[in-house]
Chains A and B, each alone.
Chain A
Amino acid sequence: MATDVLVIGGGIVGMVTATELARSGAQVTLIDAEINAGSTANAGSLHVQMQSRFMRLYPDQVPAIEASLPTYRAAAQEWERLEAEIGSVELVRKGGLMLAEDAAQLAFLEQKAAREARHGLQVELLDRPALDKIAPWLGPQIIGAELCHNEGKVNPLAANLRLRAAAEALGVTRVRDRITALAVAGRVEAHGVTGTYRADRAVVAASWGAGALLRDHGLTVPTQAEPLHMNITEPCAARIDQLIQHAERSITLKQFRSGQIVIGGGWPARDCGQARVPAVEMGSLLGNVALAARLVPAIAHVRVIRSWAGMNTTIDGASVLGPLPATDRIILAVPGDAGYTLGPLIGKWAAGCVLGTVERERIARFSPSRFAA
């Protein structure tokens, strides 16, 4: 099969890349293994402020995360453009709260907010009376919070469906296959389990599967599969407008338009290999939900109806985006942390790399060359 551009990976990044390219007139084939996409498992939080989870788990990555703050701000904004283009993704931008339970946590948030403000984020600190006006359901132990106005939420199921329909309407060919090798001999040749695909250019948007495809091209990109846990409740009246996080503990909590509360925040699941969905760990289910119950006691009588586990992909704290040092026929696009938030922006830029419409200096920071052997 031959086309202008191959997009390998059909998550948020691959789908946005494919639609952008198709819109500019390119003939696009999207090849997706259709397994363990973070995009079908994620919680739809639009993260902008620095997540305390990453700062704690990967302190060495903090400088990279901090430098990426303007990108996250722009990425959240990009969702508005995407929604205008493809229809409702249930985007709500009422901000995100990061809660503090004691003076030390509040002091940490204060410092964090100051750093974030320097990078152009719209942040403020709220004391309890101010919190009561927007989040009266919080537990009594919460003394204050950082509110980041740039944050928000989308419904990933709705967004994925819209994007899939948009790609189809634009004539993107979708193939279910797993690429095992990528070669460049004049054109790009991608060998899959069931077929071989040829194109002028290829965009690798295969998240955890990307690293393996680039090893033959002189790159060691540490794309790490990270199985994560999620929970969802039955519906209740929609009153939780913000994305809720904690200054010290791993949690995200928010409410979909359906009234269901989604609880996650990076609790681990058990890896069952790349070909199988990760398994739920008891400790994550108990710990994650119990923490939610302590922060928002009003949800005690709502029932959890399901938990699941999905595959996130981490790199080194920043996105990888751009042509390979060895050949500009292959473009790498892996968003990294909070990759769903970044997806539309990274996808647009990846398409821009193919079309030559993105300013090189804008994306130089993300260049794959940092992983050249």
Chain B
Amino acid sequence: MSAGSFLFAGRPVPCRDGQSLAAALTEAGERAFRTTPNDQRRGMFCGMGVCQDCLVTVDGIPNRRACMTMSEDGQRVEMQVAYPVLEDIPPATTSPGAARILEPDVAIIGGGAAGLSAAIAARAAGAEVVVLDERKVGGGQYYKQSASHKPLDAQQAEGRDLLARARQSGAEIIGAVEVWGAFDGPLFLADAAGAALIVRPRCAIVATGAYERPRMVPGWTLPGVMTTGAAQTLWRSYRSLPGARVAVCGSGPLNAQVALELAAGGAEVALVGEAARAPWRAPWVALRALTADPGLVLKGLAMMRDLRRRGIPLRHETTLQAVRAQGTELCATFRGSSGVTTEVTVDALCMNDGFEPQNEILRLLGAEMRYDADVGHLRCTRDARMRTSVRSVFAVGDCAGLGGAPAARVEGTIAGRAAAAEAGYGDGYDLFAEERQLARHRRFQSSLWRLHNARPAPAETLARDTILCRCEEITLGDVMDGLQDSPGDLGTLKRATRVGMGRCQGRYCGPVAARLVAERTGKAVEDLSFFAPRVPVKPVSIAAILAAQEALGDGD
């Protein structure tokens, strides 16, 4: 493995081959990557390209996500200012690669557990398959692969094998491409490092996964506060620790797992704060999970044992109240079941309060959704073959509503076969075994989440000065005032307060704002469909749009 270094704000930062800028910077103790218009500092938060808070300027080019940009020896990286100066941006020196127009039988957006499984199944039936993924290395969030390290454990090894099987299947797997546009057809527009990629498949399988729901408290935007998954990616994909001393909080099984992984990697875990009550206080739900999937329940019990062995305190009914900066450290306040507050001082605070599906492409294409109040997010309506309400568009894995990695794999297999059949390969029948497996995984998931607090915390209980919209720096108080002044729908609220108008396109504040409007107007959340998604589903450079226009010759 080769090593090198780059300059950050003039200071040398060591980096390793295949290490993201965010990982190298975090390892070097650099947490603040940019400043906001209100002069606040921000750093890596989601670690997966969603929050847009990790922007840095690389070799003069602003708006690069440090979490998605690989470090290179000799790079010049600057903290991004709130308003990059146009004249300072160098003209492109290297022209991007040639545009490609692909017309496969099946296009799969997202190469995680669901997408790779779909690719293998569709290829096995004989269809020509293309998989597109924004990350350089496939595998998705569950399998989190590393470009340059051996698997850490069975989970990563299983991912390596799945990825290898997908490659061997003959599917074309294209990494580091961001799908930013989806249109009727379906037709997808993607950005491959400045080069345009246009995909017009006969069938499409959307497998874009989920992102994490944060626990919004005053201070959750401070550098060093990140999602639990971001910390996990730092360690699993790049072998960088989020800090020497960390705390993990929220609700859900990921928190304890990542606490253990970080501890095994050498971090000191000060606390795991879980909002839900302890499983032994909800024995019936625990029993149901046990009958659905004894293996996974045993895994969970082993996790609790390991936490105890390592001396990591796991506190149930314990919620984060606020975070503040204290020198280079973070001081996090928690409230326990008895109402007693405790403070912990850490280098990094990790939070995960459940998941939100990345369903923007599906909604853009017009796929029908319904609101699932139990988990607080939209689920995509699908038939038994994972077909959405849109012709030739399938949805699999967490993007269609949280289901977990085992279910994602089975759904992928079913959809892969069904999509291949629709494109004229095989008959797509004989999926009985898969359907039975899927039912079992789904039973397990529903009891698993009942052991945690899957319902989002009601927004009114938050402090008024809690930032709701990270991008536009809008507090809950601003939004409540906006609701007072101009009641109506979410669009009206957005125009009145700017909530959801920023770079992350409302991914964090949108669900909360939608629920607030629903409560205020008495309308069902499903009627609101959150913020209507529009192209681009993720910010895309004007250069990339120009490249797509040149490739298609459209709109002249």
Interface residues of A (CB under 8 A from B): 34, 40, 136-137, 157, 160-161, 164-165, 176, 233-239, 258-259, 267, 277, 280, 282-290, 292-294, 297-308
Contacts and interface: CB of A to CB of B under 8 A. Distances in A.
A305 B502 contact: yes
B193 interface: no
Given A292-B542, A303-B542, A237 B535 contact: no
A40 B491 CA distance: 10
B301 interface: no
A283 B554 contact: yes
Contacts of A288: 555
A78 B495 CA distance: 24
Interface residues of B, number: 48
Nearest to B487: A176
A237 B85 contact: yes
Contacts of B264: none
Closest 8 CB pairs of A and B: A287-B555, A290-B549, A303-B539, A286-B549, A283-B555, A300-B543, A237-B83, A237-B85
A259 B550 CA distance: 27
Contacts, number: 137
Interface in B529-556: 532, 534-536, 539-543, 545-546, 548-550, 552, 554-556
Given A34-B492, A165-B485, 10 more contacts: A164-B485, A234-B503, A239-B87, A267-B555, A286-B549, A287-B555, A290-B545, A290-B549, A298-B89, A305-B539
A136 B88 CA distance: 12
Contacts of B486: 161, 164
Given A176-B488, A303-B539, A285 B87 contact: no
B89 A304 contact: no
A286 B63 contact: no
Contacts of A233: 542
Contacts of A299: 86, 542
B184 to A, nearest CB: 9
A264 to B, nearest CB: 14
B555 A286 contact: yes
Contacts of B37: 235, 258-259
Contacts of A176: 488
Contact of A293 (B485, B488, B498, B545): B545
Interface in B162-198: 181, 183, 187, 189
A304 B539 contact: yes
B98 interface: no
B63 A302 contact: yes
Contacts of A308: 534
Contact of A282 (B187, B488, B543, B556): B187
Contacts of A283: 554-555
A300 B536 contact: no
Contacts of B541: 300-304
Contacts of A164: 485-486
B63 A234 contact: yes
B154 interface: no
